[in-house]
C-alpha cells in the first residue's frame, strides 16, 4: 500500500540535503535566511541542493522579509528569480502574494503559475494564506489556479489542529493541505487525527565551539533526531 504520509524538510544549506531520502523525507523546501521565515535562495544554493539529493526540491520565491504585498519591481524580480531557479533544476516553487487589503493577488499569482508551467514546476502557496482576510475564498481561488498545495499553520503562530481540520473540510480533497510551523513528533498524532497527512518542518540546531572570540564561529547542523522522531510519530499514527 502506498504511504499517504508526506514529510517536507526546510533547509538553507545544500549539504543538509544529503541523505534526507534515506531518512524517509519526501521533499525539500530550499530557502535562504530561514531566520527571516525563508527567502529566495541563490542559483548556487539551488543547483548544489538539486545535485545533492534524488528527492524533489521546491525553492522559496520571496524577495524580502515582512508582508506579502509586493511592488511591481519586486514582482518582476520574483519572475526573474523563478527563471533562475528553474534553470538550477528545482522541481517547484513556494510562493504567496496578497493585495494591500490582504486578498489573494490573483493577477500576480496567475503570472507565476503561467511562468512555472513553462518549466513544469509545481507550486506550493505558503503561509501568506494564514494572514489573508478570506481564507475559504482564497483556497477556492488557489484550486482554480492549479496550485498543488497550501502550507498553513491554521491561522496561528503554531499549528492549530482544529483550524487545520476546518481547512481540510473546505478543500474537499481538491488541494493538499500541508501543516507547518511548530510541527514535530509531539504534535504529529494530533495532526493525524485532524486528517493531516502532509508535514513541513525545519530541523536544525546551532552548534558553537567552546571559544568564540569574534562571533564568526559556529554553524547550523541538521537535526536528524527531530526528523526521525517526526517521521516515526507521523507514520505510526496511521
Position 198 pLDDT exceeds 90: yes
Domain ranges of the chain: 6-236
- Angle, vertex CA 137, rays to CA 131 and CA 142, nearest 5: 85
Enter the DSSP assignment of 124.
Answer: E
The pLDDT assigned to 213 comes to 63
The pLDDT assigned to 222 comes to 95
Please give the model's pTM, rounded to 2 decimal places: 0.95
pLDDT average, residue stretch 169-186:
97
Position 1 pLDDT exceeds 60: no
Cβ pair 30, 88 in contact under 8 A: no
124-161 residue pLDDT tens: 999 999 999 999 999 999 999 999 999 999 999 999 99
Task: Determine how many CB atoms are found less than 10 A away from the CB of residue 147.
Answer: 23
Characterize the bridge pairing of strands 122-125 and 92-95.
parallel
Per-residue pLDDT band at 122 (split at 50, 70, 90): very high
Position 214 pLDDT exceeds 80: no
3-32 residue pLDDT tens: 689 999 999 999 999 999 999 999 999 999
**Residue 209 backbone phi and psi in degrees, to 5:** -75, 170
CA atoms within 13 A on the CB side of 68: 27
Sign of the four-CA dihedral 148, 200, 170, 39 = negative
> Alpha carbon of 156 to those of 95, 151, 179: distances in Å?
19, 12, 11
Identify each DSSP E strand in the chain by its residue range.
6-11, 27-30, 57-60, 92-95, 122-125, 149-152, 176-179, 198-202, 204-207, 219-222
56-87 residue pLDDT tens: 999 999 999 999 999 999 999 999 999 999 99
- Output the CATH code of domain 6-236: 3.20.20.380
Amino acid at each position: 500500500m502506498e504511504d499517504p504520509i508526506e514529510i517536507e524538510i526546510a533547509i538553507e544549506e545544500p549539504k543538509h540535503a544529503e541523505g534526507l531520502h534515506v531518512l524517509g523525507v519526501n521533499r525539500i523546501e530550499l530557502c535562504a535566511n530561514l531566520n527571516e521565515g525563508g527567502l529566495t535562495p541563490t542559483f548556487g544554493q539551488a543547483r548544489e541542493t538539486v545535485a545533492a539529493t534524488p528527492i524533489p526540491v521546491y525553492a522559496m520565491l520571496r524577495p524580502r522579509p515582512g508582508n506579502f504585498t509586493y511592488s511591481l519591481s519586486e514582482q518582476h524580480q520574483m519572475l526573474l528569480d523563478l527563471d533562475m531557479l528553474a534553470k538550477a533544476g528545482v522541481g517547484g516553487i513556494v510562493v504567496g502574494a496578497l493585495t494591500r487589503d490582504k486578498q489573494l493577488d490573483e493577477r500576480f499569482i496567475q503570472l507565476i503559475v503561467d511562468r512555472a508551467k513553462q518549466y513544469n514546476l509545481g507550486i506550493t502557496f505558503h503561509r501568506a494564506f494564514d494572514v489573508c482576510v478570506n481564507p475559504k475564498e482564497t483556497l477556492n481561488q488557489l484550486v482554480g489556479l492549479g496550485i498543488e498545495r497550501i502550507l498553513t499553520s491554521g491561522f496561528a503562530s503554531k499549528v492549530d489542529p482544529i483550524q487545520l481540520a476546518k481547512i481540510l473540510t473546505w478543500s474537499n480533497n481538491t488541494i493538499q493541505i500541508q501543516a507547518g510551523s511548530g510541527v514535530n513528533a509531539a504534535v504529529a498524532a494530533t495532526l493525524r487525527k485532524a486528517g493531516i497527512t502532509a508535514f513541513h518542518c525545519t530541523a536544525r540546531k546551532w552548534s558553537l565551539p567552546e571559544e568564540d572570540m569574534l562571533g564568526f564561529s559556529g554553524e547550523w547542523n541538521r537535526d536528524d533526531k527531530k526528523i526521525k522522531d517526526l517521521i516515526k510519530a507521523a507514520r505510526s499514527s496511521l
